[in-house]
Structure 1
Amino acid sequence: MRFRATVQNVLTFYRLIQTVDKLQKKCIIKFSETAMRIICNNDEGGVQVWSKIRVDSLFTDYRILSHSNNEITLNLPTEALSTALRSASAEHTGANEVIMKLAKKNNLPVLSFEIFGTSHMGRRVKVAHDVRIEVMKPADVALLTEPRCPEPDVRWVDPQPKANSSGCLRLSASTEVVKADITWNNCLHPRIAADGASQTSTGLEDEEQGRERSDPKQLFSVLVHTRSFLKFLNAHAVSKTTIACICQAHCLILFVYIGDSADVGGVLTFYIPSVLDN
């Protein structure tokens, strides 16, 4: 089993891990020949994140070899990975080369980061970070399944849930003593194109090609915990484009697109379950 890559887009990688670190303290990262997938599926509030990021949007000189179809799946602490990437970020250290690779230290597997930069005196310096990892067995990886959800009743593009097919979005927040409503009109309605068997995709189609609504002014809603919705809002550092879907009384699905709309590098998909309204 071998893995090595140069992290070309350090800041985006750091922001991705920073986002999932707000969700849970461990995540699963699956590397393949063409994509990196980040999975968070153990949040106490039921929020899940499933993502697919193109290799060429983050890495160069990318090499992977394994007996499992050249796929390697790791379970690792998000905080330690975030710390390593923060050190590697050009925004903080001026690093000009960051190499990520699988290694062993004291006979334990690690994801090793070698960060090369230049000192104030013009000398080349090297900083190393090792993140302890667990390499997952293929049998355990096979048990990982993305949430199965019904066809969304309505979709819309930010702003970020009651919504309808005529472009009206209403966001309500309530406590025992106060309730507040905010309404947006003329929201855009995209359609999420299928990406094989996965519900995660980066293609957009006009929703007019989708199923027609008998009453475009009918509002669809889902009740979610505020703390769950706030975990999604941490993704603002990754992208400014989000497409949201409501599965009536079932869940809220949010697609956070990485990169420019003309060249989408990947997508983080948030699944936020509904809660019972007592």
Structure 2
Amino acid sequence: MRLRVSLTDSKTLHGMIQSVGKVANKCIIRFSQSTFDIIVTGADAPEGVQIWSQVMTNALFKPDVLRIESNFNDQINLEVATETFLHALKSSINAVDVIIRLAKRDRDPLLNFTIGNSTVNGARLEISQEVLIRVLRPAEISRIREPECPVPDACIYLPRLHKIRRVAERMQPLSDTITVSANRAHELKLSIEKDEVKIETTWRDLDHPDLEIMTQARHGRVESEYRSVRLDMKSFMRFLSSSVVETKSITSICENHCAIFYVYIGEEDSGSGVMTFFLPAVEV
């Protein structure tokens, strides 16, 4: 097994891992020739939240400095602590060049970051960071599967996540859960209800993605009818931390089952990548 890559977009990768770190203290990173994936399984995050992120390899790494070799279809799966990975990435953000390679210290596998910088006088300065990892066997990876969800009942583009977060922060002290609702009339609603308190906020004139055409064909309902899912408030707030990498976001609501949030890395039509958050419904 061999891994040697040159990281060209430390800022984006740092933002992605920062978002993941709000949800879980460890994640799986997957290197392959075409894509780079970050995975958080339901077993590693509170309330069963899962994250499945995928970015094109050439969006993060130099194509001409790319050595990813393994007996598992040239795919390398590593489990890493988000905190230590973040520390190494933070040191890389303003670097001239960053080489990441698979190495060992004694018998412990690790990722070695060689971070090149220039001094004021133009001299080259290198620092090295090590991130301990666990190499996952193919049998372990075969048991990890993306959640299966029903066809969405509603799909809608979201307002900027930091705007949603400001609203949710005011609701958080009043309820442990929050209901996310959307309809075909371009509306998104957040609401809480506890004892004698009911608060809701509605955004209007939002766009629908093409997937909405599929759900319209499936459901012959009136446009103003909301489809809803109740979520754990803390899990929802953790998801909203992904605003650090967001350009556009979509939510798909599977009523009373889950909410799926797609956070695009770079412009949506560039195909660079997307972070997908699966938040299960809270039983009423």
Give yes or no for the alignment of 1:109 onto 2:109. yes
* Match of residue 89, structure 2, among 62, 85, 89: 85
Report the equivalent of 2:34.
Answer: 34
Give 3-state SS (helix, strand or coil) of 1:13's partner.
helix
Give yes or no for the alignment of 1:265 onto 2:272. yes
Give yes or no for the alignment of 1:246 onto 2:253. yes
Q: Please give the alpha-carbon distance, in whole angstroms, between the structure 1 residues aligned to 2:35 and 2:225.
A: 39
Give 3-state SS (helix, strand or coil) of 2:230's partner.
coil
* Match of residue 72, structure 2, among 65, 68, 75: 68
Report the equivalent of 1:6.
Answer: 6
Report the equivalent of 2:187.
Answer: 168
User: Normalising by structure 2, what TM-score?
Assistant: 0.88
Report the equivalent of 1:136.
Answer: 136
User: Normalising by structure 1, what TM-score?
Assistant: 0.89
Give 3-state SS (helix, strand or coil) of 1:223's partner.
strand
- Cα deviation for residue 46 of structure 1 reads 1.1
Q: Please give the alpha-carbon distance, in whole angstroms, between the structure 1 residues aligned to 2:253 and 2:4.
A: 40
- Cα deviation for residue 108 of structure 1 reads 1.3
Give yes or no for the alignment of 1:221 onto 2:228. yes
- Cα deviation for residue 208 of structure 1 reads 8.4
Report the equivalent of 1:188.
Answer: 207
Give 3-state SS (helix, strand or coil) of 1:87's partner.
helix
Report the equivalent of 2:169.
Answer: none
Report the equivalent of 2:126.
Answer: 126
Is the contact made by 2:154 and 2:182 (CA closer than 8 Å) also made in structure 1? yes
Q: Please give the alpha-carbon distance, in whole angstroms, between the structure 2 residues aligned to 1:54 and 1:175.
A: 44
Structure 2's unaligned 5+ residue stretches are 165-179
Give 3-state SS (helix, strand or coil) of 1:186's partner.
coil
Report the equivalent of 1:197.
Answer: none
Structure 1's unaligned 5+ residue stretches are 193-204
- Cα deviation for residue 179 of structure 1 reads 2.8
- Worse-matched range after superposition: 56-65 or 205-214: 205-214
Q: Please give the alpha-carbon distance, in whole angstroms, between the structure 1 residues aligned to 2:87 and 2:193.
A: 36
Q: Deviations over 1:49-90 (max 9, x none)?
A: 011110011000221111111001001101000000001111
Moved over 6 A (4+): none
Cα gap change, 1:247 to 1:206, in 2 (>3 Å): closer
CA RMSD of aligned residues (A): 1.7
Give 3-state SS (helix, strand or coil) of 1:69's partner.
coil
- Cα deviation for residue 191 of structure 1 reads 2.9
Give 3-state SS (helix, strand or coil) of 2:13's partner.
helix
Cα gap change, 1:74 to 1:210, in 2 (>3 Å): farther
Matches within 5 A, 1:226-241: 226-241=233-248
- Worse-matched range after superposition: 208-217 or 13-22: 208-217
Determine which structure has the larger helix proportion and give its number.
2
Q: Please give the alpha-carbon distance, in whole angstroms, between the structure 2 residues aligned to 1:175 and 1:47.
A: 23
Q: Deviations over 1:233-266 (max 9, x none)?
A: 1110111200101000000000000012341310
Give 3-state SS (helix, strand or coil) of 2:256's partner.
coil
Report the equivalent of 1:22.
Answer: 22
Q: Please give the alpha-carbon distance, in whole angstroms, between the structure 2 residues aligned to 1:177 and 1:128.
A: 57
Cα gap change, 1:208 to 1:273, in 2 (>3 Å): closer
Paired AA for residue 172 in structure 1: S
Q: Please give the alpha-carbon distance, in whole angstroms, between the structure 2 residues aligned to 1:181 and 1:252.
A: 18
Give 3-state SS (helix, strand or coil) of 2:155's partner.
strand
Paired AA for residue 136 in structure 1: L
Report the equivalent of 2:53.
Answer: 51
